[in-house]
Each structure stands twice: as structure tokens, then as C-alpha cells.
């Protein structure tokens, strides 16, 4: 009796497993039908208007001090903040999504240094880390509202799910400043971020598709599915690849794990004989991808990374054909500056769009600082802050 059931279940499972493995074998690269280039369906995060706006911003000129990009604004739209005017020194509160990767670590150290630099105007800086949990961040924001903060800075863990909590914070009457990821409500005084994911994805994809040989094979490496900032990067890259007619032979998730990345790249090199271009949605595993080509004894194809120093160093040492779009960590300085301006009653721009520079072959040397640790981000805008460079080492 039990054995029959076991056998039945096993057969059912076999069917399941069979379906799952057989299906993709029919089309060589996942859901390859769309656009005929293996990029799959467009993400539902893709918003054409936002995409167009971000691409236009790539060519816009910023207003503000040229040597302080974290104070610059692209296409400013000023809003009045007179009602928030308050005598200092102030208590600033910050609900942080997480500190679980080098980008956020570098950014947060930059923010702390900015607080120190503005020490005379800030009497207290409260920081709560949500450890990457939506549920905890909602509770954290609620908790901060009871602490007599003069302004609340939020870096949301997820756009849609943090919206109710941020709305509640706005209703409490204190100025709310959101940066990095946004929220689906216009209630914060300002939303600060660089140009954004479409810009990032587009710059990398356009470079790689132009430099690789026509009709060549491209491998797209992504960190995780379902993270909004990363989805927009990929959806912009997809548009660029479809337009250029690039043959995207694979879209793989690496979990940010360099070992997994090397295995994937290695297998794709073997499967296709050669890979002519690599695009990635974040720079964390760029070095691992390059190493996979080196270990296989193949030339490294055109590739994009990010402004992490280990990649920039490898790029220079090995003379790669590369580009590094950035999502600058200097944006962590801006919320503090914005909060103080708002508490002074000065108008600020909403949205506050920061420039998003790209590291290219021409300006590579100006960003490469060999004294900083390999996972440091070149775009930290932190060299003038107290404690540099020791704080970031």
C-alpha cells in the first residue's frame, strides 16, 4: 500500500521535474521567443515614461557646485519648505534598509562623516538598521516617530511595501526625506537619488553591444530577481539589446556569489565556444566574471562593472574593454544636507536628481586610488570629509 503511494508520488514528481527540465530545452535560452534575441519578456517594472526621462537626464547639465556633485541637481523643481523652519541644533533620525553589502557600508560611513562635518548643527543622529526586513523597517519608522526627531530620513528596503509606513510618517508632520529607492507617494518633502537604474542599465548595455562583434553572443549576469532597482537596470539593458539585435544567450542570477558566477561563465564559455560580451546589473561579481575568462584562457570580452576599486584596478592592469556605470555612494551625503536646508526653511528640489557619472577608459585613472581597499567605491565623494581615508579602510 505504502509502496504504491510512494511510487505514484514519485511518478508525479518525475513528471514535474521532467516538465521543468524539458521545457527550456525546446528553446535554447529560456523564454527565447520574445524579440528573437533571448532577453525574455519585459519586466512589469518597466515604465516607458520613466525610461525616457532617465535617458534624457544622462545628457542634462547639473546646476550647483561643480566640485560637489552631491549638492548638484539635474532639472531642479524647487518646493517651498518654510513651514518646516526650526531653530537648531537638530535631531536627525535615519531608518536604514540594511547595511548588508559594501555599497551600503561605504555609503553609511560617508553619511556618518557628513553628520560629523555638520556637527555644530546636529545635536543627535539616530540610526536604525532594518537588516533588510520590510516588516522591521515599518516598525522602526513607527518607533522613530515617537522619539522627537526634527527630520526623518528613510532609505526604503522595498518601494511598494514601505509606502504605508512613509505615508504615516508624513502625517506625523515632520519633514520626511527619502533616498536611494523611492516610495509610491508624493508625500515626502524630497526624494533624492541619482539618475537611476534605467540610466545604469542603458549605459552598460549600449557600450557592450557597440564594442562586441556584430551578431555576437552576450551573457547577462544579474544578482537577484525581484529587487526593483536591479529590475529597472535589466529592463533598460533589454531594450538596448533588442534594439541592437544582440544575441543574448543567457540571463543568469549569481546571488552576488563569485564562485557561482565563475561556474556560470565557465559553462557558458564551454557551451557556446565563445562569449562576446558580458553585461551585469551590479559590479559585485565583475572581477569573478573576468577571472572566469582568464582561467579558461580566453580573451576577456567587452564587459561592464561598477566603480568598485577591485574592478577598476583589474581593468587598468589587464587593459580590458570596459565601462563602469555607477550608482554613486555620494548620494548618502545629500539627505543630511537636504534635511538641514529644509529645517532652515530653504527651498529644495523635489525630486532631487543627482548626476550619475560613468567611469570610462578616458577618466579611469582619476578614479583609481590604490590606497583604498578593493571593495571601496570610487564615487564616494568622501575625500573632503572628516576621518578620510581611515574611516573607509
The distance of closest approach from Cβ of residue 228 to other proteins in the complex, given in angstroms and rounded to an integer, is 5
Q: Which of residues 3, 48, 61, 67 is near other proteins by CB under 8 A?
A: 3
In angstroms and rounded to an integer, the radius of gyration of the C-alpha atoms of the chain is: 23
In angstroms, the Cα distances linking 366 to 312, 316, 378, 388 are 11, 12, 9, 17
Q: Which of residues 55, 58, 139, 187 is near other proteins by CB under 8 A?
A: 139
The distance of closest approach from Cβ of residue 312 to other proteins in the complex, given in angstroms and rounded to an integer, is 14
The distance of closest approach from Cβ of residue 262 to other proteins in the complex, given in angstroms and rounded to an integer, is 5
Please, are residues 200 and 325 in contact by the beta-carbon 8 Å criterion?
yes
In angstroms, the Cα distances linking 37 to 183, 275, 357 are 33, 15, 29
Peptide bond into 351 cis (omega under 30): yes
Q: Which of residues 53, 168, 170, 368 is near other proteins by CB under 8 A?
A: 168
3-state helix, strand, coil in the chain (%, to 5): 45, 15, 35
Q: Contact between 128 and other proteins (CB under 8 A)?
A: yes
User: Restricting to residues 177-196, which ones interact with other proteins according to CB under 8 A?
Assistant: none
Q: Which of residues 29, 321, 346, 360 is near other proteins by CB under 8 A?
A: 29
Instruction: Give the three-state DSSP class for 71.
Output: helix
Q: Which of residues 55, 368, 375, 387 is near other proteins by CB under 8 A?
A: 375
d(CA 369, CA 204): 22
The distance of closest approach from Cβ of residue 239 to other proteins in the complex, given in angstroms and rounded to an integer, is 15
Q: Which three cell numbers stand for residue 242?
A: 533588442
Write the DSSP symbol of residue 63: E
Q: Contact between 9 and other proteins (CB under 8 A)?
A: yes
User: Restricting to residues 279-298, which ones interact with other proteins according to CB under 8 A?
Assistant: 284, 287-288, 291, 295-296
User: Restricting to residues 253-282, which ones interact with other proteins according to CB under 8 A?
Assistant: 253, 255-259, 261-264, 266-268, 270-271
Q: Contact between 316 and other proteins (CB under 8 A)?
A: no
The distance of closest approach from Cβ of residue 306 to other proteins in the complex, given in angstroms and rounded to an integer, is 14
Amino acid at each position: 500500500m505504502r509502496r504504491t503511494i510512494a511510487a505514484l508520488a514519485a511518478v508525479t514528481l518525475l513528471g514535474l521535474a521532467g516538465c521543468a527540465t524539458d521545457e527550456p530545452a525546446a528553446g535554447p535560452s529560456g523564454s527565447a521567443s520574445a524579440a528573437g534575441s533571448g532577453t525574455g519578456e519585459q519586466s512589469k517594472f518597466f515604465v516607458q515614461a520613466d525610461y525616457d526621462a532617465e535617458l534624457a537626464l544622462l545628457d542634462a547639465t547639473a546646476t550647483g557646485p561643480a566640485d560637489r556633485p552631491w549638492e548638484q541637481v539635474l532639472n531642479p523643481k524647487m518646493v517651498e519648505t518654510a513651514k518646516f523652519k526650526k531653530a537648531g541644533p537638530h535631531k536627525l533620525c535615519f531608518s536604514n534598509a540594511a547595511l548588508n553589502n559594501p555599497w551600503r557600508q561605504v555609503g553609511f560611513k560617508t553619511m556618518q562623516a557628513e553628520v560629523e562635518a555638520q556637527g555644530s548643527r546636529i545635536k543627535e543622529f539616530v540610526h536604525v538598521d532594518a537588516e533588510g526586513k520590510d516588516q522591521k523597517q515599518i516598525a522602526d519608522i513607527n518607533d522613530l516617530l515617537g522619539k522627537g526627531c526634527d527630520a526623518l530620513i528613510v532609505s526604503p528596503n522595498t518601494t511598494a511595501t514601505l509606502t504605508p509606513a512613509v505615508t504615516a510618517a508624513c502625517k506625523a508632520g515632520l519633514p520626511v526625506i527619502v533616498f536611494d529607492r523611492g516610495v509610491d507617494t508624493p508625500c515626502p518633502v524630497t526624494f533624492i537619488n541619482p539618475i537611476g537604474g534605467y540610466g545604469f542599465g542603458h549605459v552598460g548595455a549600449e557600450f557592450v553591444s557597440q564594442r562586441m562583434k556584430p551578431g555576437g553572443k552576450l551573457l547577462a549576469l544579474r544578482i537577484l530577481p525581484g529587487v526593483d532597482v536591479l529590475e529597472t537596470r535589466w529592463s533598460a539593458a533589454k531594450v538596448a539589446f533588442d534594439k541592437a539585435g544582440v544575441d543574448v544567450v543567457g540571463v543568469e542570477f549569481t546571488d552576488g556569489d563569485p564562485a557561482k558566477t565563475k561556474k556560470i561563465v565557465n559553462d557558458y564559455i564551454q557551451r557556446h565556444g565563445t562569449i562576446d560580451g558580458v553585461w551585469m546589473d551590479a559590479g559585485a561579481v565583475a572581477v569573478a566574471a573576468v577571472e572566469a575568462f582568464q582561467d579558461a584562457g580566453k580573451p576577456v570580452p567587452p564587459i561592464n562593472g561598477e566603480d568598485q576599486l577591485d574592478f577598476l584596478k583589474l581593468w587598468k592592469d589587464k587593459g580590458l574593454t570596459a565601462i563602469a556605470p555607477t550608482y554613486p555612494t555620494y548620494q548618502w551625503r545629500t539627505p543630511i544636507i537636504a534635511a538641514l536646508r529644509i529645517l532652515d526653511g530653504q527651498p529644495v528640489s523635489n525630486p532631487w536628481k543627482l548626476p550619475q557619472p560613468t567611469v570610462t577608459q578616458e577618466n579611469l585613472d582619476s578614479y583609481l586610488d590604490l590606497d583604498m581597499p578593493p571593495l571601496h567605491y570610487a564615487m564616494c565623494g568622501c575625500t573632503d570629509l572628516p576621518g578620510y581615508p581611515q574611516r573607509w579602510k
